[in-house]
Amino acid sequence: MQKLKEAARIIQFADFAIALTGAGISVESGIPAFRGAQGLWQKYDPFEYAHIEAFVHHPAKVWEMLRELDLIMQKARPNPAHLVLAAWERENYLKAIITQNVDNLHQAAGSKNVIEFHGNAFRLRCLKCDRIYARDEIDLTQSVPLCPCGGLLKPDVVFFGENIPIEALLEAKAAVNACDVMLVVGTSAEVAPANTFPWEAKKHGAKIIEININPTVLTEEVTDIFLEGRASEVLTQLAQLL
C-alpha cells in the first residue's frame, strides 16, 4: 500500500508523465503475450513467422498465422488498464503512451497521443507501392491478400528484420527525453530498441514506475517503484488514489 501511495503521488505531481506499454497490458483483453504464453505462440514460433524474410518468401504460410491473430485481435476489447491510461490523458496526468502493441486497444480506449512503436495490425501496407489500407477494406480470407498493383499486402506492423517507423522513433525519443515519470506496463523489456527507453529516461532523472506480474530485467537496475500485479488491478488501484 505504501508503494502504491508513493507511486500515485509521483504521478499526481509529474510535469510530463508517459507510459511505455507492452503485450502484458493486453493479456487481460484476451491477447496472449509472447513470453510465458499459451496458444498461438506455442503453435507458431514468432521469430520464425514474424520475420520479414519469412513473409516475403512464404506469404501464404505466414498469412495462416496472421489470420488467427486477426481473429483474436478483432474480438479483443480494452480492459481497465487501457481505460485508466486513457482517463489519465484526459485528466492531464499522462502526456503520451509509447506502445509496442499493435492491437489498437489504447486507441479504442480513447487515448489520443499513442506512439505506435511497432505499427498497427488494423492497417495493411503494400510492400510494392507502399499504399496503406484499412484492415476492413481487404478480404483477408484470400490465401495471400494482394494490392491492385500486384504487391503483397502485409499488416502494417514491424516484423523482425524491419526498421521502426522513423516518425514513431523520433516521437518516442522526444517523449522519453521530455518525461520526468515513466510508467512501464506489461513489457518484458527484452525487445530492442523500445527496451532502452527506461534507461534513457532514468539517465536524465525520470522516475520509473514498473507494473508487471513478474520482475523483469529492469526491476533491479532502473525501476524506482515496482508494483507487482496484473496491469488492470494495479492501475485501477492507482487511479483510486489520485
The site for ligand NAD (CB under 6 A) is made up of 22-24, 26-28, 31, 33-35, 100-103, 118, 186-188, 190-191, 211-214, 216, 230-231
> Could you say which of 30, 32, 46, 151 contacts Zn ion (CB under 5 A)?
151
SS3 16: coil
Active site residue 51: no
**Distance (Å, whole) CA 94 – CA 27:** 22
Nearer to ligand NAD, 111 or 187 (CB): 187
**Distance (Å, whole) CA 65 – CA 42:** 12
Work out whether 185 is an interface residue with Zn ion (CB under 5 A): no
Burial class (CB within 10 angstroms; exposed 0-12, middle 13-18, buried 19+) of 175: buried
126 binds, among ligand NAD, Zn ion, none (CB under 5 to 8 A by kind): Zn ion
Q: Segment near Zn ion (CB under 5 A), from 17-25, 148-156, 176-184, 218-226?
A: 148-156
Nearer to Zn ion, 148 or 205 (CB): 148
Q: Which three cell numbers stand for residue 226?
A: 515496482
Work out whether 165 is an interface residue with Zn ion (CB under 5 A): no
**Distance (Å, whole) CA 136 – CA 120:** 13
Catalytic residue among 51, 82, 106, 118: 118
Q: At what angle do helices 231-241 and 2-12 cross, to 10 degrees?
A: 70
33 binds, among ligand NAD, Zn ion, none (CB under 5 to 8 A by kind): ligand NAD
Nearer to Zn ion, 153 or 172 (CB): 153
**Distance (Å, whole) CA 4 – CA 212:** 13
Handedness of CA 61, 65, 71, 74 (dihedral sign): negative
Residue nearest to ligand NAD (CB): 24
Minimal CA–CA distance to 23: which of 209, 197, 186?
A: 186
**Distance (Å, whole) CA 65 – CA 178:** 38
Considering only residues 103-132, where is the footprint of Zn ion by CB under 5 A? 126, 128-129, 131
Least Cβ distance, residue 128 to Zn ion (angstroms):
5
H or E, element range at 17: strand 17-21
Nearer to ligand NAD, 190 or 221 (CB): 190
188 binds, among Zn ion, ligand NAD, none (CB under 5 to 8 A by kind): ligand NAD
Minimal CA–CA distance to 152: which of 44, 62, 45?
A: 62
Residues assigned a catalytic role:
118
Residues in touch with Zn ion (CB under 5 A): 126, 128-129, 131, 147, 149, 151
